[in-house]
Amino acid sequence: MIPKDPDTEFQPHTSHWGVFSARMRDGALEVRPHPGDPDPNRIIDNFPAALRHRARIARPMVRRGWLENGPGPDSRRGSDDYVAMSWSEVLDRLGGELRRLRDGPGPQAIFGGSYGWASAGRFHHAQSQIHRFLNTACGGYVKSVNSYSSGSSQVLVPHIIGDYEDLTKRNVSWEQAAQHSEIVLAFGGMALKNSMVAGGSVSQHVERGAMERAADRGCAFVLVSPLRSDLPDEAKAEWLPVTPGSDTALMMALVHTLVAEGRHDRAFLERCTVGWPVFERYLMGETDGIAKDAAWAAPLTGVAADEIVALARRLHGRRALIVVAHALQRAEHGEQPVWMGMVLAAALGQIGLPGGGYGYALGAIAYYGRRFNAVPVPTFSQGRNGVSDFIPVARIADMLLNPGGSYRYNGQTRSYPEIKLVYWAGGNPFHHHQDLNRLRRAFARLDTLVVHELAWTATARHADVVLPCTMTLEREDIGASSNDPLLLPMRPVAAPFGEARDDYAIFADLAERLGAREAFTEGRSVRQWLEHLYEPTRQALAAMGRPAPDFAAFWAGEGIDLPQLADDGGRLRAFRDDPEGRPLPTPSGRLEIASETIAGYGEPDCPGHPTWLGPIAVPDAAAPFVLIANQPRTRLHSQFDFGGHSDGAKRRGREVASLHPEDAAQLGLAEGDVARLFNERGACLAAVRLTDGIRRGVVQLPTGAWYDPADPSEEKSLCVHGNPNVLTRDIGTSALAQGCTGQLTTVQIERYTGNLPPIQAHDPPRAA
């Protein structure tokens, strides 16, 4: 059924986890890292086994219930079987369904947010493709705003610091950290597993080297995290194994100590911030009678009071960099540690200095802490969306379960649209969303769920129409990122799997059924689009007097080097140097330690200045462990979970949960045992790994193992594979941002003594 792939030469390619090259030899894929990459990411090793894996989708498939009964709510989604269909018939049927909705209830009944990381090429970027299709052929779609990554900081930061990218991407760089930082205090760490992944492309993984150079120069790294592995060995870090969810209290106690000892930078606070007096009264206990001092924070954080005081004194008078990982804001009240991290860096007077200040999210993803290119890189235009309605991205199940229901977001009261059809390309909600049993109930209410996928993810298994798409190695594209200096031709290495087609080709033929082929394609073939998208970069290079090869020369080569902008500290440095002349784009033009705007919204779960709102993910008798559901080391999210590098790190086919040996002993668990993790929302199995690099009372189970219910027709079936999102809570961070809270929850753990159920997540579903 699957054509034998002809041999190919090594071709340059890129992925979110790095530039590499690949070729086919005797039907097998070989990959090798980019020779210029000092620290390649082994996630590329997932490609060889993934390319022709049985989990790939070979033909268009339609769910039997949808085929027999037509569009409509159906709780069999997820347990139904599938019927193979020809491309022309499936596109006719889907075109008819899209026409029914477009010309009936209108495009506001179509949810096309389609959140997800997709693949790295600039043209076959699935979200750009689907959005352009829905805009040109359907009149638009209800979209989603913000991300699962940083749903609360993206809303908060414009109120208190200004432009989000000025904070995350044009601020403290790895070059500055290597050269100038004297102490780096990292809340949630800067794990290399995370920083080795970029969105788009990355040709050089510099993070390990930068931390090593800083440490060798004498820079101290202090890791505040329940996991020791959140900083690499090269950082030679001291480890404070903090109670999850308590960082805001620790930061407050550090600032309290600075103030109590007169070590805070009053001149900086006066010159560059607003709201300090209001916050200081709260901090010192004048407004609520509670001084947020080290003695107060010690029992909340699990860090001794004298350690907190000593740390505050060490931060003072040094080039100090405060880092707060995205993870801290992917939890209830996630706005608070982000805001308080800024206040700590401001109280130290460090914001805007080389290698100092607030490195929010530095180390979370490889596109932070780098230089921007001086020329634009190719982008595929999405067209205009005729629908203005949106939801905060992580509120999808709420939206489907409560059409017309109201919710608060960023100072507004909004209402959820009534969605009939959900269309996904390039994302996996059964990976990214929380409380998957609730998500299943939400998807059961739709008329139609459409998914383009390269493999049988749980999302594809819940869809009514499943359209097989090519994998990046099977198509031509351009690889680039706005802050990586290498622009790459991505020449195909392998033939498309089965009947898989590019998202572009699928949408072009579907647009035809809706009378919009020309609007969608502008009459261009893929190669013509690549040439068209390359042209602005070529022109900008030529205008700078740089080598600017024409497209044919670029396409035949191994990639071209792009010039980059200076590492100048961006807007925060300019503001520090001249706060009046170069104000920040906040309401006051300054850093907002207290925000009148946010105070005016009156949200109890996000008051007008950083506030300790109490512990989160509090263990109790029913769920005595805190679960950390963080990013996986061996893959990007759920992508290529079936690849060799990902699969090879599992045990007995299951995802691995890490526990402290003393906790395990109390539970009667030994290394390699299979445990059941459960709470009121669901249950999953995982293989146990023991480590003293984790705080007691905490269990860590990374995301990304595909949801694999033992009995998919059951309402709360056991996930036998280890997807932590059957356990996490589906609530927003606060009424301000409504961000994702997937990082922390509480669970009970027990030894699993039953017969081990088989893993079926990577097998295709039953086909008629």
What part of residues 151-210 is at the interface with ligand MGD (CB under 6 A)? 187-189, 191, 193-194, 197
Interface region with ligand MGD, contact rule CB under 6 A, candidates 7-15, 278-286, 340-348, 622-630:
622-630
Stretch touching ligand MGD by CB under 6 A, among 346-354, 419-427, 600-608, 656-664 = 419-427
Edge to edge, what strands does the sheet with 484-490 contain? 477-481, 484-490, 560-561
3-class DSSP assignment, residue 431: helix
Binding footprint of ligand MGD, residue count (CB under 6 A): 62
Binds ligand MGD (CB under 6 A): choice among 431, 440, 681, 762: 431
Cα distance between residue 378 and residue 529, in whole Å: 10
Identify residues 210-239 at the interface with ligand MGD (CB under 6 A).
Answer: 224-227, 230
Cβ density class 104-130: b for 16+ within 10 Å, e for less: ebebbbbbbbbbbbbbbbbbbbbbbbb
Cα separation of 394 and 223, whole Å? 29
Of these, 183, 215, 328, 606, which contacts ligand MGD (CB under 6 A)? 328
Q: What DSSP designation does 410 have?
A: T
Taking CB under 6 A as the binding criterion, the range among 28-36, 284-292, 449-457, 680-688 that sits at the site for ligand MGD is 449-457
Smallest separation, CB 694 to Mo ion (Å): 22
Per DSSP, 244 falls in state T
| CA 684 to the chain's CA centroid | 22
Min. distance of Cβ 575 from ligand MGD in angstroms? 26
Terminal Cα-to-Cα distance of the chain (whole angstroms): 17
327 binds, among ligand MGD, Mo ion, none (CB under 5 to 8 A by kind): ligand MGD
Site for ligand MGD (CB under 6 A): which residue of 168, 481, 743, 746?
743
Residue 469 CA: distances (Å) to CA of 135, 646, 653: 20, 22, 27
Instruction: In angstroms, give the least distance from the CB of 18 to Mo ion.
Output: 17
| Residue 431 binding partner per list Mo ion, ligand MGD, none, with a CB distance cut-off of 5 to 8 Å that depends on partner kind | ligand MGD
Whole-angstrom distance, CA of residue 761 vs CA of residue 766: 12
Q: Which of 78, 359, 369, 427 binds ligand MGD (CB under 6 A)?
A: 427
Q: Say how far apart CA 35 and CA 26 lie, in whole Å.
A: 24
Binding range to ligand MGD, per CB under 6 A, among 292-300, 421-429, 483-491, 508-516: 421-429
Could you say which of 63, 93, 208, 633 contacts ligand MGD (CB under 6 A)? 633
CB nearer to ligand MGD: give 187 or 529: 187
**Residue 722 contact partner, candidates ligand MGD, Mo ion, none, CB within 5 to 8 A by sort of partner:** none
Nearer to ligand MGD, 149 or 734 (CB): 149
- Give the contacts of 126 (CB within 8 A, at least 6 positions apart): 114, 116, 118, 119, 425, 426, 427, 452, 469, 503
Q: Where are the strands (E) in 76-117, listed by range?
A: 82-84, 110-111
**HSE (side-chain half, CA atoms, 13 Å) at 82:** 24
> From the list 20, 47, 82, 148, which residue makes contact with ligand MGD (rule: CB under 6 A)?
148
Which run of H or of E encompasses 552? helix 551-556
Angle in degrees, 0-180, between the axes of helices 294-301 and 305-315, rounded to the nearest 10: 110
Query: How many Cα atoms sit within 13 Å of 640 on the Cβ side?
Result: 29
State the minimum distance, in angstroms, from the CB of residue 148 to Mo ion: 5
By beta-carbon proximity to Mo ion, the closer residue of 199 and 383 is 199
**Can you tell me the distance from the alpha carbon of 115 to that of 284, in angstroms, rounded to the nearest whole number?**
43
Residue 507, token pair as written in the block: 């949408």
452 part of the interface to ligand MGD, by CB under 6 A: yes
Min separation Cβ 281 and ligand MGD, Å: 27
107 binds, among Mo ion, ligand MGD, none (CB under 5 to 8 A by kind): none
**Range in contact with ligand MGD (rule: CB under 6 A) among 6-14, 88-96, 319-327, 518-526:** 319-327
Q: Least distance to Mo ion from the beta carbon of 473, Å? A: 23
CB of residue 56 to ligand MGD, shortest distance in Å? 10
Partner whose footprint covers residue 53, from ligand MGD, Mo ion, none (CB < 5 to 8 Å by kind): none
For the record, the structure tokens of 766 come out as 């039953």
Sign of CA dihedral 85, 89, 93, 95: positive
Selected from 570, 724, 732, 739, the binder of ligand MGD by CB under 6 A is 724
Nearer to ligand MGD, 239 or 554 (CB): 239
* Interface with ligand MGD, residue 244, by CB under 6 A: yes
* Complex with ligand MGD: residue 187 or 372, whichever CB lies closer: 187
Of residues 455, 527, 452, the one with CA closest to residue 497: 455
Q: Is 21 in the site for Mo ion (CB under 5 A)?
A: no
Q: Which of residues 116-155 bind Mo ion (CB under 5 A)?
A: 149
Side-chain half-sphere CA neighbours of 573 within 13 A: 15
Full strand arrangement of the beta sheet holding 220-224? 238-240, 220-224, 183-187, 320-324, 357-358
In whole angstroms, how close is the CB of 38 to Mo ion at the nearest point?
A: 24
Query: Minimum distance from CB of 631 to Mo ion (Å)?
Result: 8
- Binding residue (CB under 6 A) for ligand MGD from 327, 439, 623, 747: 327
- Tell me whether strands 406-409 and 412-415 are parallel, antiparallel or unpaired: antiparallel
CA distances from 295 to 64, 66, 224, 291, 474 (A): 62, 61, 18, 9, 59
- Give the nearest distance from C-beta 334 to ligand MGD in angstroms: 9
Pick from 350, 309, 315, 328: nearest CA to 221: 315
Using alpha carbons, list the distances in angstroms from residue 596 to 114, 159, 592, 608, 688.
34, 9, 9, 6, 48
Residues binding Mo ion: what is the number (CB under 5 A)? 1
119 binds, among Mo ion, ligand MGD, none (CB under 5 to 8 A by kind): ligand MGD
Nearest-approach distance from CB 430 to ligand MGD, in angstroms: 9
Query: CB of 339: closest distance to ligand MGD in angstroms?
Result: 15
Just list the catalytic residues. 115, 117
Instruction: Determine the 3-state secondary structure of 235 from DSSP.
Output: helix
| Two tokens, residue 363 | 């180390």
- 738: contact with Mo ion by CB under 5 A: no
| Token pair for 567 | 């590492």
Given a contact cutoff of 8 angstroms between Cβ atoms, the answer to whether 736 and 598 are in contact is yes
Span of 240-248, 298-306, 522-530, 568-576 interacting with ligand MGD by CB under 6 A: 240-248
Region 112-141 residues binding ligand MGD, contact defined as CB under 6 A: 116-119, 124, 126
Instruction: Give the CB-nearest residue to ligand MGD.
Output: 742
Q: Give the nearer residue to ligand MGD in terms of CB position, either 603 or 641.
A: 641
| Binding footprint of Mo ion on the chain (CB under 5 A) | 149
| Binding footprint of ligand MGD on the chain (CB under 6 A) | 116-119, 124, 126, 148-149, 187-189, 191, 193-194, 197, 224-227, 230, 242, 244-245, 247, 325-328, 330, 364-365, 425-428, 431-432, 434, 452-455, 457, 469, 503, 628-633, 636-639, 703, 724-725, 728, 742-744
